[in-house]
Structure 1
Amino acid sequence: MTDASTPLATLIDARLRDALSPSALIVTNDSHQHAGHMGDDGTGETHFSVAIESAAFDGLNRVARQRLVNQALADLLSTRIHALAIRARAPGED
């Protein structure tokens, strides 16, 4: 699923599900809050938030968890995503 016509939130969701098998995942397009700001390319798909829960994060610190998310989205981060806020937790964490 890499078609440029596929909504970016859908691609983000699919990539994270494939890479990290989350037990919970919410991808939110925040681009409307950044219209006219740096990084806004007019597509309405540049700024996102991710809340993800995955057993893959168990025992990892915040930076290591964010690295796993960034690795799963590496090509999108270098080409289509300007900003990504990540909230990553292991099952059972608040």
Structure 2
Amino acid sequence: MGRAAEILGVSPAFLRSLDEAKLIAPQRSGGGHRRYSRYQLRLAARARQLVDQGTALEAACRIIILEDQLEEALRLNEELRRSQSEPLPSAGD
């Protein structure tokens, strides 16, 4: 956790607060140390950015979750659009 906090320029307490807010749920090592994925570090960096701009932590977490859901919905929508525009194979193929 200390290294992740250092990379992001935040305190370990900030990372713990993101865990408590259910924004990120790091894996645990055998010794109980928190291990963050790159994706979780990106979310934490976005949270820090919003909090630095004056957004409350709970609101920042909700914004990030909604942004993530929107991105996924747009990706799925594009996949569906592409699959519908592909010609269907004919019976003779």
TM range (shorter): under 0.3
Higher relative contact order (CA 8 A, sep 6+): 1
Q: Please, what TM-score do these two structures have when normalized by structure 1?
A: 0.24
Which has more radius of gyration? 2
Q: Please, what TM-score do these two structures have when normalized by structure 2?
A: 0.24
